[in-house]
Structure 1
Amino acid sequence: MYEDLKYWYLRDHKLFRVLSFEQIKQLCIITGFKKAIKGEVIYFSSSSISRIFLLKKGNIKIVTVDEEGNETIKDIIQKGDLFGELTLERDNLENEYAKVLSDKVVICSFLLSDFENLLLQNPKLALSYTKFVGLKMKRIKNNYSNLIFKDAKTRLIQFLRDWGEKEGMLTGNTIAIKNYLTQNEIAQVICTSRQTVIQLIKELEIDQIINYSRKEIVIHNITKL
């Protein structure tokens, strides 16, 4: 059963569309399969086993930890995204870990050594992977630029807009987002305090731009956000 699931998960991912039926079947042999629940830690960058992960269902946060133990959410991983040692370099990682945000997730994973061999054997896949990772790194770089050059309210608005466009349900100009982040987690994403996020959300609600609850965030008019 897991082999069938792995095949369909991999076949449907845009990264592996350059592979043939037989190549994907072979890929299933080296692919790990895991289900996890909310709050479970998927990996630590300090682990002795190097892996690349593919998220097929749910949401995960990548958290970096500085020398003083302060945590910042580096990225929110969504369906179809890759995470782990994406640069294929074992010694170039920050101190980070991945933790499940949604009620449950489904993950495929590869040993780094197996994935490197796969790329060597399939030049088209290597090119597809390079483009995929390049776009991801560009997005993370843009996020860091926003943290440096924009104020907290602008960062929150940009985050909500991006979140709505990626995962929200659009009805007219209204977007409803299933909320799986706490206010503290939103604060970690945009690098501010929880109290600041609470105040900014209240301001947006007073202006009737959003409605916020623990389960859902409704953006009344995406063009005004």
Structure 2
Amino acid sequence: MKNNLILSTLQSSFIFQNAAQESLRQLAEEFQFFTFEKNKNIDFTQTDKYFFIVSHGIIKMTKMDIESGRSITLFLYSAGDVFDVLPLFDQQEHDVEFSIVKNSCLLAIEMTKMREWIKKDPHINAAFFSYLAREIRKLEDFSESMVFYDAKTRLIKFLLKEINTNENKNNSLLAELTHASLAEIIGSIRSVVTTELNKLKKEGFLIKKEGKLILHDLERLHKNYNHLFHNR
């Protein structure tokens, strides 16, 4: 059963989906399977040694300033995403933390073996370039938001872009994130996020369903706040 899960995860990942089936079967034998509980951190020695693929769950990459105690979330990883790409290529330590936002299953392969596969398989090699470009664009977008938009706009932009907006489904990401986590993601502080979320509740854009917050009336949300993304 684990072998089937590993293979299906590889087939659904942007990095590996175009590799030959025989290569995927061989690659699947190199992976180990790990489960992590919510609110746990992944041991940094593991992220130096292994390259991970998310089978299911949500992981966040966080950078912390020890002196101030403030932190910022650089990436959220979900099914099919991979980490940590930087030490995979530059073989240097990466001073970040990876924590579990939602109970997660991860596949792990030794960094040295992953480097060998990148050299050996042209499909995997090419996919990494596209993946890196996509991640750089995310950071570019984040940097632009930090400079040009206020906290309220960044919060709404995140909610509209990252959250599953199908009201008939459980909005799992929003349900799992605390106000402090949202503050880390948009580069603000918890009290500001709490204030803005309360405003969205009063306006009817956030409602509780089965005890969890979900986005509501998205057409009106887009209409009311679309101007924020055109005026800087």
TM range (shorter): 0.7 to 0.9
Task: Tell whether 2:205 aligns with 1:204.
Answer: no
Cα RMSD over matched residues?
2.3
In the alignment, structure 1 segments of 5+ residues that lack a partner are none
Q: TM-score, normalised by structure 2?
A: 0.84
Structure that is richer in helix per residue: 2
Pairwise CA distance, 1:219: 2.6
Unaligned 5+ runs, structure 2: 226-232
SS in 1 for 2:90: coil
Which amino acid counterpart does residue 207 of structure 2 have in structure 1? N
Aligned to 2:184: 188
Give CA deviations for 1:177-196 in whole Å, capped at 9, x if unaligned. 22100111111111112111
Match of 1:112 in 2: 111
**What is the number of residues matched between the two proteins?**
217
Q: Deviations over 1:82-119 (max 9, x none)?
A: 121346112263x21111111x2111122221111101
Equivalent of residue 221 in structure 1, options 218, 221, 225:
218
AA of the residue aligned to 1:88:
F
Change (3 A) 1:151 1:82: same
AA aligned opposite 2:213:
E
2: CA distance, partners of 1:155 / 1:110: 35
Deviation (angstroms), 1:67 = 3.9
Structure 2 vs 1, CA of residues 107 and 161 (structure 1 numbering), >3 Å: closer, same or farther? same
Q: Distance in 1 between matches of 2:83 and 2:130?
A: 15
Q: Could you tell me which amino acid in structure 1 is paired with residue 8 of structure 2?
A: W
CA distance in 2, matches of 1:176, 1:25: 33
Task: Name the SS of the counterpart of 2:42 in structure 1.
Answer: strand
Structure 1 stretches of 4+ moved >4 Å: none
Identity %: 20
The one-letter amino acid paired with 2:71 is E
Q: Does 1:74 align with 2:74?
A: yes
Match of 1:140 in 2: 139
Aligned to 1:32: 32
**Which is richer in strand?**
1
